[in-house]
Amino acid sequence: MKIEIKITKKPVEYTKAIKFLEHRIDKIHKNRASELIWLLEHPSIYTAGSGYNERDVLDKSINLYKTNRGGKITYHGPGQVIFYFAINLNKRNRDIRNLLNKIENTIIETFKSFKINARADKNNIGIWVKHNKKPKKVAAIGIRVKKWVAYHGFAINVSTDLNKYKKIIPCGINDKGIINLNSIKKQSYITLKEKLVENFLKNLQN
């Protein structure tokens, strides 16, 4: 199955990206467009998924955008790789848990190529590393499925300003931390996007 791959270098407003995705999934469902993988970055924004709680907002002055993805509250901004997709599960396996496993494996395998060990957590969605003997989240996952077309995706902190997370309880988890790749291992991540695409395509086929 042909999948269009877009890598946008200039930051894209969150609302514009979501509108584009929603328009795309409608076209995919009608067989008028191919599936999509879209990598980009957002300007600073806090977004709240369908499962968020008002108590997760620690700084009431922040602008919070309520979105239709799954999950709770998170931050998007400079230094973060956003990996969106629009994947037609009608032509694949209609199994959301299976898709989630493929996403988790994609991120974990990609990190391995940078000599970083990471893991999924069945109780706390996302990808985690152990840093200074404490579990810290480095990638957030949030998906939505409409008429069996899955969209939204995941976000990886590369050089994200971690102070931004002090204004919220990220993903509703207050006993664990947030980290970025530069804090785990200072090295070049210039090939990160290409490796993510490569691994995601491979996992989709399995």
Q: What is the pLDDT of residues 166-192, one digit of tens each?
A: 999 887 667 688 999 999 999 999 999
Rounded-to-integer distance, Cα 69 and Cα 50, Å: 6
Q: Give the pLDDT confidence score for residue 1 in this predicted structure.
A: 65
**DSSP annotation string for the chain:** --EEEEE--S---HHHHHHHHHHHHHHHHTTSS-EEEEEE---SEEEE-TT--GGGBS-TTS-EEE-SSSS-EEEE-TTEEEEEEEEEGGGS---HHHHHHHHHHHHHHHHHTTT---EE-SSS-SEEEEETTEEEEEEEEEEEEETTEEEEEEEEESS--GGGGGGB-GGG--SSEE--HHHH--S--TTHHHHHHHHHHHHHH-
CB 148 within 8 Å of CB 88: yes
**Is residue 163 predicted with pLDDT exceeding 70?**
yes
Q: Give the pLDDT confidence score for residue 170 in this predicted structure.
A: 84
Length of the chain as a residue count: 206
Percent of the chain, pLDDT > 90?
A: 82
What CATH number is attached to the domain comprising 195? 3.30.930.10
Q: Give the pLDDT confidence score for residue 34 in this predicted structure.
A: 97
Digit-coded pLDDT (tens) for 30-89: 999 999 999 999 999 999 988 888 899 999 999 899 988 877 899 999 999 999 999 999
Looking up tokens 């969209």, which residue turns up?
151
Tokens standing for 164?
Answer: 């931004």
- Note if 199 is an active site residue: no
Digit-coded pLDDT (tens) for 5-30: 999 999 999 999 999 999 999 999 99
Residue among 171, 179, 196, 204 flagged as catalytic: 171
Q: Give the pLDDT confidence score for residue 50 in this predicted structure.
A: 83
Q: How confident is the model at residue 122 (pLDDT cuts 50, 70, 90)?
A: confident
Structurally, how many domains does the chain consist of?
1
Looking up tokens 């300007």, which residue turns up?
43
| Structural domain boundaries, residue 51 | 3-205
Percent of the chain, pLDDT > 70?
A: 98
